[in-house]
Structure 1
Amino acid sequence: MKWQRTLLIVFLCLCIIFKLQLAAYPAVNEIIQITLERTGGFAGITTTKIVNTANLPIDKANQLRQLIHNADFFNLPTNINSKPPHPDRFKYKIIVEKNGQRHTVVVNEEAVTRELQPLIKWVRDLEY
C-alpha cells in the first residue's frame, strides 16, 4: 500500500511538471500551417504542399516551428525578387498561418535567402 501511495505522488508530481512545461513553452501547442507553392521551371508545372503541425509528429512539428523562427518569416517582405529574374527558374509562394496571423512571401529561386532556404527545402522534402 505504501508503494502505491509513493507511486501516486510521483505520478502527480510528473503531471504538474509536465503541465508547467507546457505553460512555459506554449509554442509546443500552437498550430501552424504552411503552404508552399512552387511554380515555373522548364515545364511550368505548379506544385503545392500544405503542412499542418497538428498532423505531424512532435519532433517534426518542432523542427518546422524552429525553421520558421530562424527564417524570421513574419518579418520578411512580401516579395523577394532577383534583378532581373531568370527564365525557367522556380518561384515560391510561402504562406504561414499561426495564431490568427497570416503572412505570405513570394520569392524567386535565385533570390531565396540563406535563412529561408532550409525552410523551403524541409517542407518540399517532407514525407509523412
Structure 2
Amino acid sequence: MNTEAIAKRLVELCRAGEYEKAQRELYADDAVSVEPEGAPAGALGNAQGLAAILEKGRRFGESIEALHSASCSDAVVAENWFSVSMGLDATFKGMGRVAMQEICVYRVHEGKIVREQFFYDAG
C-alpha cells in the first residue's frame, strides 16, 4: 500500500474504534511511538516495536472507565508522511473526565507505518 491508502485505512479503522487492528495491519514490527515531552503523570510514554505499541494501547484502553466520544479527521498526506487530528472525551480511572485533541503524525516506509508521534498539550 502507498501512503495515501495506509492513511485512509488508518482513519477508517480508528473511526470504527479498531485501534489494535489498525496497528496489527498497518504498522511495521520495529515501529516507534512517541509522546510529547512533559506528558502528564501516568502517561504511557514512548514505545519501541509493535509488541510494545500494542501493550501501550492495551494499557491505555484499560485506563478508560467510560468512553463518551472519539473522533478522527481525514488524513493530510505529504509523500511518506500523513497526519490526522484525533479527539477523545473519556472518563479515566482515578482521573475523572478528560476531553482532549491531538495531532497525530505518521511516517510510512516500505508500505508500513514506522513512526507515530502525538502532539497535544501536556499537563
Mark yes or no: TM-score above 0.5.
no
Q: Tell me which protein shows more helix as a share of its residues.
A: 1
Give the TM bin, normalised by the shorter chain. Answer: under 0.3
Larger Rg: 1
- TM-score with structure 2 length normalisation? 0.27
- TM-score with structure 1 length normalisation? 0.27
